[in-house]
Structure 1
């Protein structure tokens, strides 16, 4: 993905808008953290993942996903319209390329919420992206959160827990790790924002040289 040089918020320096990848195991609270980040008022574009999975009772189109049919999703794959895509638990998930390109052209940092497998794909096509791993305080707490959803039968739940344990072992592949403690959402959001500020300042300083 080509870099796009833009003015920072002061208008005095040049920097490249940052592609920020937030990833972590199922049940870590990615949607909750994104909701809080969205409320923070930062100059971010939050990509909306397209998925073929069924809509849950507390969801609607565009919040937090674009819900599409398998046929529609496979057409996007054929058209090379996705930045990354994966089949997770039998459902397709993917980020449309147009969302990212349009946001960068508007001088916005882009936040991608994707699974660990998808993050590895983005690393290949956008190596300058910022990769943040969201982790639970413990494996036991993650399992408790997943069970608390009550959306799957026992076998499906165990598969998800096993997969989450595997994903947690990939934390070292990321630039930063943020622990999402129980009742610690605001703290985790502050940590994410601090990381983004630090990275933005580092890149601005680098471009001054």
Structure 2
């Protein structure tokens, strides 16, 4: 059976990652989003098990101690992590998985799955990034400045990724991320597993 692909999508806050990921999931039913565990409180409209698995800090630390997490990181005082068991089970069935994580998590995943395909989303400029953060109307000035600094810290890791999308025009960016996923499935390794018999027949082997 063809093993599933792991797609890592990372971006600074305000780059439009959530919008692009949502568009990809809507366009491609063969990609499943990994639902992360987190210690932060649910926000208005968020559903446990759908947006995140919301757990206590003690529960999360226990998961770390039992080595149950594929990756984990602390962001703004809250922990986030991915279940390793769930990921491996999904990949074994041929399911493609998408991880929406930060650079720390991406590094951890690549150490265990060097074949993972990583995508970084960039804003067209720092000015646009700041406009998007302010346009949310959710954060105080101090929080905005913290997010801007964190954004630049995240962007400094852009050269660690396989693909980079500059999210200037949303329609083009959606097309780009869908194209990356489809192209990954056409790699020789994947096609050899899926069409091994056909390829051998055509080669006359």
TM-score range, shorter chain: 0.7 to 0.9
Between the two proteins, the alignment pairs up a number of residues equal to 194
Q: Deviations over 1:110-159 (max 9, x none)?
A: 11110111111111111110011111111111111122223332222211
Q: Please report the TM-score for the alignment, with normalisation by the length of structure 1.
A: 0.85
Alignment check: 8 A CA contact 1:83 1:97 kept: yes
Q: Are 2:39 and 1:52 equivalent residues in the alignment?
A: yes
Q: Deviations over 1:6-30 (max 9, x none)?
A: 24xxxxxxxx321110111112222
Q: Deviations over 1:79-107 (max 9, x none)?
A: 11110000011110111112211211221
Q: 1:73/1:139 Cα in 2 relative to 1: closer, same or farther (>3 Å)?
A: same
CA distance in 2, matches of 1:51, 1:29: 21
Q: Deviations over 1:142-195 (max 9, x none)?
A: 1111222233322222111101012112111100001222xx333222211211
Alignment check: 8 A CA contact 1:25 1:116 kept: no
Among 179, 182, 188, the residue aligned to 1:197: 182
Q: Are 2:67 and 1:80 equivalent residues in the alignment?
A: yes
* Structure 1 unaligned spans of 5+: 1-5, 8-15
Q: 1:173/1:122 Cα in 2 relative to 1: closer, same or farther (>3 Å)?
A: same
Alignment check: 8 A CA contact 2:4 2:93 kept: no
Alignment check: 8 A CA contact 1:104 1:110 kept: yes
Alignment check: 8 A CA contact 2:69 2:84 kept: yes
Greater helix proportion: 2
The equivalent residue for 2:26 is 39
Q: 1:29/1:67 Cα in 2 relative to 1: closer, same or farther (>3 Å)?
A: farther
Q: CA deviation at 1:206?
A: 6.4
CA RMSD of aligned residues (A): 1.9
Q: Are 2:54 and 1:67 equivalent residues in the alignment?
A: yes
CA distance in 1, matches of 2:89, 2:109: 17
Q: Which structure has the larger Rg over C-alpha atoms?
A: 2
Q: Please report the TM-score for the alignment, with normalisation by the length of structure 2.
A: 0.86
The equivalent residue for 1:134 is 121
The equivalent residue for 2:102 is 115
